[in-house]
Amino acid sequence: MPLRPKTPNVGVEHGAWGEDVAVEYLRVHGYEIVDRNVRPCRRDQRLEIDVIAYDRMYDVMAFVGVKQHARRSP
């Protein structure tokens, strides 16, 4: 069943909205969200893991980077 995201509200940052959609998708598919927006390296603040999720059934830890692209109308 495809997940249909809600249209973002005016003023909401698109990146955060995309991450929320990804988190909901992972939860629907049985993942537990461990953390969000983790910066693993103090020296390089550009590095960020958007979502860390865990699937108990398969004992899998997922490190997720979310990319969202604006839809362009033709």
Q: Which residue has the higher pLDDT, 57 or 13?
A: 57
pLDDT at res. 72: 61
- Domain range for 50 is 34-74
14 CB-near residues (< 8 Å, 6+ apart): 8, 68, 70
- Give pLDDT tens digits for 17-73: 899 999 999 999 999 999 999 998 888 888 899 999 999 999 999 999 998 877 765
Residue 55 lies in a domain: yes
pLDDT at 2 over 80: no
pLDDT at res. 74: 57
Give me the amino acid identity at 46.
R
What's the domain count of the chain?
A: 1
Long-range contacts of 52-55 (CB under 8 A, 24+ apart): 53/23, 53/26, 55/30, 55/31
Residue 47 lies in a domain: yes
Residue 66 lies in a domain: yes
Residue 58 lies in a domain: yes
Residue 14 lies in a domain: no
pLDDT at res. 3: 55
Residue 27 lies in a domain: no
